[in-house]
Structure 1
Amino acid sequence: MNTLNILVVFGTLSTISAIHTFKDCGSTSGHITSITVNPCPSEPCALVRGTNVSVEVDFVSNVHTNKVTTSVHGIIAGIPVPFMSTHSCTSNNVHCPISPGVNNVYTNYIPVLQIYPEISLLVKWELIDEQGNDLACFVMPASILDPSHAVVG
């Protein structure tokens, strides 16, 4: 994975952590009930190098699915750059199979490495069912910052 992809992913996570509001980008087979990103004292979320970011997405599925895949893209100057794709049932605390109408919790923890450049971007985060439809999809603004440029809460 190259450095640009890593930066995009971390930018995405930064956006997510401070989310008091979010833009749903096509959750067709489910809906998001809440998103929590820590630390993230304000929006756009400041992702500070040398720290860790936690992301939690609470969502309700409209469908039965045995598989959930996470897909994260950083959008830089309008261009989506893939950051990661994982099987969420085994790596991110999503308990599969998922049934309709039941609250589910997705979690992820990501270190913000010192090597990441300072950059502003949009992060697009998708949780995808086994049919390829979005259980949860959101976009948030984020910034990767050096600790010397971060505003303390």
Structure 2
Amino acid sequence: MDDGLRTRYPRLARSHFVVTSPPSEAYNCIAWAAGHDTEWWDPLGFWWPRDALAEWSLRAMLDVFRILGYSPAFTGELETGIEKIAIYGFENDPKHVTRQLESGHWTSKLGKNVDIEHELDGLCGSKYGEVLMVMSRPQGARPRGPIPLVRRGVADAVGA
């Protein structure tokens, strides 16, 4: 099942990818990369970690994943005992977040569309930009207890 993904993401056509779930509006790439599949995370409306910067920026994305225990990494290569996420975008404008699987491939939620397993550069291009940052944490180093999420509206965002 391709559903036009090779057209929207031309680098997928030249790399490994597999569709791993049907379309869903329940969650997005940020939530999926954070290990959640029941909320749509967005600082400008929907759910967002309570203590994270509430704006759409690379700084805010880094803040979210720091709260989740991640720190900047040197490479997107698979490392034993390390969990990784990668943020795609254009300069300070993040467009997508993906999470590395134990196989070394990456898993992404494509908006309201499907989840896919892919190579890191498979989503680079005009839609999501390039990989801006890879972050890592020791495997299993999740925060204790649930991350407090708050329902955000546009009026809650910085600068609104």
TM-score by length of 1: 0.29
Higher share in helix: 2
